[in-house]
Protein backbone atom coordinates (compact mmCIF):
# COMPACT_ATOMS: atom_id res chain seq x y z
CA UNK A 1 0.00 0.00 0.00
CA UNK A 2 1.26 3.45 -0.87
CA UNK A 3 1.76 6.00 1.92
CA UNK A 4 2.31 9.19 -0.05
CA UNK A 5 -0.61 11.63 0.20
CA UNK A 6 -2.40 9.61 2.89
CA UNK A 7 -3.03 10.16 6.59
CA UNK A 8 -1.78 7.97 9.42
CA UNK A 9 -2.56 7.71 13.12
CA UNK A 10 0.14 6.64 15.57
CA UNK A 11 -0.78 6.24 19.23
CA UNK A 12 1.94 6.81 21.79
CA UNK A 13 3.46 8.91 19.03
CA UNK A 14 5.36 11.38 21.18
CA UNK A 15 8.19 9.04 22.20
CA UNK A 16 9.76 5.60 21.82
CA UNK A 17 8.33 3.21 19.25
CA UNK A 18 5.56 5.64 18.35
CA UNK A 19 7.87 8.57 17.68
CA UNK A 20 10.16 6.46 15.50
CA UNK A 21 7.19 5.13 13.55
CA UNK A 22 5.67 8.57 13.10
CA UNK A 23 8.97 9.88 11.69
CA UNK A 24 9.29 6.89 9.35
CA UNK A 25 5.76 7.39 8.01
CA UNK A 26 6.39 11.08 7.39
CA UNK A 27 9.55 10.19 5.47
CA UNK A 28 7.37 8.08 3.16
CA UNK A 29 5.02 10.97 2.45
CA UNK A 30 2.24 10.39 4.97
CA UNK A 31 0.62 13.09 7.10
CA UNK A 32 0.89 11.75 10.64
CA UNK A 33 -1.42 12.40 13.56
CA UNK A 34 0.46 11.38 16.68
CA UNK A 35 -1.85 10.70 19.60
CA UNK A 36 -0.50 10.92 23.13
CA UNK A 37 -1.13 12.37 26.55
CA UNK A 38 -0.58 16.14 26.97
CA UNK A 39 2.47 15.72 29.23
CA UNK A 40 4.18 13.50 26.66
CA UNK A 41 3.38 15.87 23.81
CA UNK A 42 5.05 18.73 25.68
CA UNK A 43 8.33 16.79 25.52
CA UNK A 44 7.93 15.57 21.94
CA UNK A 45 10.26 16.58 19.10
CA UNK A 46 8.75 18.92 16.52
CA UNK A 47 8.83 17.20 13.13
CA UNK A 48 7.41 18.58 9.90
CA UNK A 49 4.46 16.44 8.86
CA UNK A 50 3.59 15.28 12.39
CA UNK A 51 0.61 16.84 14.11
CA UNK A 52 0.32 15.97 17.78
CA UNK A 53 -3.17 15.31 19.09
CA UNK A 54 -3.83 15.11 22.82
CA UNK A 55 -5.88 11.96 23.36
CA UNK A 56 -6.18 9.22 25.95
CA UNK A 57 -6.76 5.87 24.25
CA UNK A 58 -9.05 4.83 27.11
CA UNK A 59 -11.46 7.67 26.24
CA UNK A 60 -13.88 6.84 23.43
CA UNK A 61 -14.75 10.53 23.02
CA UNK A 62 -11.11 11.63 22.70
CA UNK A 63 -10.29 8.83 20.28
CA UNK A 64 -13.35 9.65 18.16
CA UNK A 65 -12.30 13.30 18.00
CA UNK A 66 -8.71 12.39 17.06
CA UNK A 67 -9.88 10.00 14.33
CA UNK A 68 -12.20 12.68 12.96
CA UNK A 69 -9.25 15.10 12.81
CA UNK A 70 -7.13 12.62 10.85
CA UNK A 71 -9.99 11.53 8.59
CA UNK A 72 -10.86 15.16 7.83
CA UNK A 73 -7.33 16.19 6.89
CA UNK A 74 -8.00 16.22 3.14
CA UNK A 75 -6.20 12.96 2.33
CA UNK A 76 -7.52 9.45 3.00
CA UNK A 77 -6.80 7.84 6.36
CA UNK A 78 -4.97 4.62 5.49
CA UNK A 79 -2.69 3.66 8.39
CA UNK A 80 -3.02 3.11 12.13
CA UNK A 81 -0.15 2.03 14.37
CA UNK A 82 -1.00 1.41 18.02
CA UNK A 83 2.05 1.97 20.23
CA UNK A 84 0.46 3.46 23.34
CA UNK A 85 0.83 1.32 26.44
CA UNK A 86 2.32 0.84 29.88
CA UNK A 87 4.57 -1.91 31.22
CA UNK A 88 4.29 -2.20 34.99
CA UNK A 89 5.32 -5.12 37.18
CA UNK A 90 3.43 -6.62 40.12
CA UNK A 91 3.24 -10.16 41.46
CA UNK A 92 -0.09 -11.89 41.99
CA UNK A 93 0.98 -12.51 45.58
CA UNK A 94 3.79 -10.27 46.83
CA UNK A 95 5.25 -8.90 50.03
CA UNK A 96 2.51 -6.27 50.15
CA UNK A 97 -0.28 -8.76 49.57
CA UNK A 98 -2.45 -9.64 46.62
CA UNK A 99 -2.12 -7.95 43.21
CA UNK A 100 -3.99 -4.65 43.09
CA UNK A 101 -7.11 -5.67 41.19
CA UNK A 102 -7.92 -2.17 39.98
CA UNK A 103 -4.36 -1.81 38.69
CA UNK A 104 -4.69 -5.08 36.76
CA UNK A 105 -7.84 -3.74 35.13
CA UNK A 106 -6.09 -0.44 34.32
CA UNK A 107 -3.24 -2.18 32.48
CA UNK A 108 -5.69 -4.19 30.39
CA UNK A 109 -7.80 -1.09 29.79
CA UNK A 110 -4.88 0.91 28.43
CA UNK A 111 -2.95 -1.75 26.53
CA UNK A 112 -5.73 -3.95 25.17
CA UNK A 113 -9.02 -2.06 25.31
CA UNK A 114 -7.29 1.16 24.26
CA UNK A 115 -5.79 -0.53 21.21
CA UNK A 116 -9.14 -2.06 20.30
CA UNK A 117 -10.90 1.30 20.67
CA UNK A 118 -8.47 2.97 18.26
CA UNK A 119 -8.61 0.02 15.85
CA UNK A 120 -12.41 -0.03 15.78
CA UNK A 121 -13.05 3.70 15.50
CA UNK A 122 -10.27 4.27 12.97
CA UNK A 123 -11.47 1.31 10.89
CA UNK A 124 -14.93 2.88 10.77
CA UNK A 125 -13.39 5.97 9.18
CA UNK A 126 -11.05 4.03 6.88
CA UNK A 127 -13.95 1.92 5.59
CA UNK A 128 -15.61 5.09 4.28
CA UNK A 129 -12.65 5.96 2.04
CA UNK A 130 -12.38 5.00 -1.61
CA UNK A 131 -10.43 1.78 -2.14
CA UNK A 132 -7.32 1.73 -4.30
CA UNK A 133 -7.05 -0.27 -7.52
CA UNK A 134 -6.42 -3.44 -5.48
CA UNK A 135 -9.42 -2.98 -3.21
CA UNK A 136 -7.27 -1.83 -0.29
CA UNK A 137 -8.32 0.86 2.13
CA UNK A 138 -5.90 0.58 5.03
CA UNK A 139 -3.65 -1.22 7.49
CA UNK A 140 -3.80 -1.41 11.28
CA UNK A 141 -0.69 -2.48 13.20
CA UNK A 142 -0.99 -3.27 16.89
CA UNK A 143 1.85 -3.71 19.36
CA UNK A 144 2.07 -6.81 21.53
CA UNK A 145 5.25 -8.02 23.24
CA UNK A 146 7.28 -11.18 23.68
CA UNK A 147 5.66 -11.12 27.13
CA UNK A 148 2.50 -12.31 25.39
CA UNK A 149 4.31 -15.64 24.97
CA UNK A 150 7.09 -15.60 27.60
CA UNK A 151 5.64 -13.61 30.48
CA UNK A 152 7.99 -13.29 33.42
CA UNK A 153 7.42 -13.14 37.15
CA UNK A 154 5.47 -9.97 37.90
CA UNK A 155 4.06 -9.63 34.38
CA UNK A 156 0.60 -11.12 34.90
CA UNK A 157 -1.22 -7.90 33.97
CA UNK A 158 1.16 -6.88 31.19
CA UNK A 159 1.27 -10.36 29.63
CA UNK A 160 -2.52 -10.64 29.82
CA UNK A 161 -2.94 -7.36 27.96
CA UNK A 162 -0.39 -8.24 25.29
CA UNK A 163 -1.70 -11.77 24.91
CA UNK A 164 -5.07 -10.20 24.22
CA UNK A 165 -3.51 -8.16 21.41
CA UNK A 166 -2.17 -11.36 19.83
CA UNK A 167 -5.56 -13.04 20.16
CA UNK A 168 -7.26 -10.03 18.60
CA UNK A 169 -5.12 -10.03 15.46
CA UNK A 170 -6.66 -12.81 13.35
CA UNK A 171 -10.35 -12.17 14.12
CA UNK A 172 -9.82 -8.45 13.53
CA UNK A 173 -8.20 -9.21 10.16
CA UNK A 174 -11.12 -11.47 9.26
CA UNK A 175 -13.74 -8.96 10.43
CA UNK A 176 -12.20 -6.14 8.42
CA UNK A 177 -11.27 -8.07 5.27
CA UNK A 178 -14.52 -7.13 3.54
CA UNK A 179 -13.52 -3.47 3.85
CA UNK A 180 -10.02 -3.95 2.46
CA UNK A 181 -8.35 -3.31 5.83
CA UNK A 182 -5.45 -5.51 6.93
CA UNK A 183 -4.50 -6.10 10.58
CA UNK A 184 -1.11 -7.27 11.84
CA UNK A 185 0.74 -7.20 15.16
CA UNK A 186 4.38 -6.65 16.07
CA UNK A 187 5.65 -8.34 19.24
CA UNK A 188 8.90 -6.58 20.20
CA UNK A 189 11.51 -7.96 22.53
CA UNK A 190 13.58 -5.64 24.72
CA UNK A 191 13.82 -2.30 22.96
CA UNK A 192 15.67 0.86 23.97
CA UNK A 193 12.70 3.06 24.84
CA UNK A 194 12.01 5.64 27.57
CA UNK A 195 10.82 2.74 29.76
CA UNK A 196 14.47 1.64 30.01
CA UNK A 197 15.92 5.12 30.42
CA UNK A 198 15.89 4.92 34.22
CA UNK A 199 17.87 1.68 34.57
CA UNK A 200 21.66 1.41 34.80
CA UNK A 201 24.03 0.61 31.95
CA UNK A 202 24.97 -2.62 33.73
CA UNK A 203 21.34 -3.68 33.86
CA UNK A 204 20.86 -2.89 30.16
CA UNK A 205 24.02 -4.85 29.35
CA UNK A 206 22.61 -7.82 31.25
CA UNK A 207 19.39 -7.65 29.25
CA UNK A 208 21.31 -7.45 25.98
CA UNK A 209 23.43 -10.46 26.93
CA UNK A 210 20.30 -12.61 26.96
CA UNK A 211 19.54 -11.93 23.28
CA UNK A 212 21.00 -14.69 21.06
CA UNK A 213 21.72 -12.53 17.99
CA UNK A 214 22.29 -9.72 17.47
CA UNK A 215 23.35 -9.54 21.11
CA UNK A 216 22.01 -6.10 21.89
CA UNK A 217 18.77 -4.35 22.68
CA UNK A 218 16.41 -3.51 19.87
CA UNK A 219 16.05 0.01 18.48
CA UNK A 220 12.83 1.95 17.90
CA UNK A 221 13.81 2.51 14.28
CA UNK A 222 13.85 -1.26 13.75
CA UNK A 223 10.25 -1.43 14.93
CA UNK A 224 9.40 1.43 12.57
CA UNK A 225 11.13 -0.34 9.67
CA UNK A 226 9.09 -3.48 10.28
CA UNK A 227 5.90 -1.42 10.42
CA UNK A 228 6.75 0.06 7.01
CA UNK A 229 7.44 -3.44 5.65
CA UNK A 230 4.02 -4.64 6.85
CA UNK A 231 2.33 -1.67 5.21
CA UNK A 232 4.21 -2.28 1.96
CA UNK A 233 3.50 -6.03 1.76
CA UNK A 234 -0.12 -6.32 0.67
CA UNK A 235 -0.32 -10.08 1.33
CA UNK A 236 0.71 -9.85 4.97
CA UNK A 237 -2.45 -10.02 7.08
CA UNK A 238 -3.68 -11.53 10.35
CA UNK A 239 -0.14 -12.22 11.54
CA UNK A 240 1.87 -11.52 14.70
CA UNK A 241 5.59 -11.01 14.04
CA UNK A 242 8.18 -11.27 16.81
CA UNK A 243 10.96 -8.68 16.65
CA UNK A 244 13.33 -9.94 19.31
CA UNK A 245 16.65 -11.34 18.04
CA UNK A 246 15.25 -14.85 18.85
CA UNK A 247 14.99 -13.93 22.55
CA UNK A 248 12.93 -16.22 24.75
CA UNK A 249 12.41 -14.68 28.16
CA UNK A 250 13.40 -16.64 31.29
CA UNK A 251 10.93 -16.89 34.18
CA UNK A 252 12.67 -13.94 35.91
Q: What is the CATH number of the domain that holds 89?
A: 3.40.50.720
In a domain, 214, yes or no: no
Contacts of 39 (CB under 8 A, 6+ apart): none
pLDDT at residue 209, rounded to an integer: 87
Average pLDDT over residues 229-243: 98
- What is the number of residues in the chain? 252
In a domain, 249, yes or no: no
In a domain, 65, yes or no: yes
Average pLDDT over residues 206-235: 94
Helix (H) or strand (E) holding 116: helix 114-126
Local confidence band at 250 (pLDDT 50, 70, 90 cut-offs): confident
Q: Domain of 99? A: 7-193+219-243
* pLDDT tops 70 at residue 184: yes
Average pLDDT over residues 61-75: 98
In a domain, 104, yes or no: yes
Q: How many domains does the chain have?
A: 1
* pLDDT tops 70 at residue 197: no
Task: Name the residue among 46, 20, 27 with its Cα closest to residue 223.
Answer: 20
pTM tops 0.85: yes
Helix (H, G, I), strand (E, B) or coil at 128: coil
pLDDT at residue 175, rounded to an integer: 98
* pLDDT tops 80 at residue 195: no
Task: Name the residue among 187, 183, 251 with its Cα closest to residue 218.
Answer: 187
Catalytic residue among 158, 179, 223, 235: 158
- Per-residue model confidence as pLDDT tens digits over 138-183: 999 999 999 999 999 999 999 999 999 999 999 999 999 999 999 9
Q: Is residue 235 annotated as a catalytic residue, yes or no?
A: no
In a domain, 33, yes or no: yes
The CA distance from 159 to 12, in Å, is 19
In a domain, 1, yes or no: no
The CA distance from 252 to 153, in Å, is 5
In a domain, 2, yes or no: no
pLDDT at residue 178, rounded to an integer: 98
DSSP secondary structure code for residue 130 in this structure: P
Q: In sequence order, what are the beta bridge partners of 155?
A: 90
* pLDDT tops 70 at residue 194: yes
In a domain, 199, yes or no: no
With 0-12 / 13-18 / 19 or more C-beta atoms within 10 angstroms meaning exposed / middle / buried, residue 113 is middle
Amino acid sequence: MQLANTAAIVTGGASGLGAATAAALVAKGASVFALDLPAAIEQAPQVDGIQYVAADVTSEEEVRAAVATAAGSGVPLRTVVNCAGIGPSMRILGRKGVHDLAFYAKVVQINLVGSFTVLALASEAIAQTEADENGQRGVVINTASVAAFDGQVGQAAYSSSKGGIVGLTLPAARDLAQYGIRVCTIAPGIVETPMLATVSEDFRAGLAAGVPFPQRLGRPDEYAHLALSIIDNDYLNGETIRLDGSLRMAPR
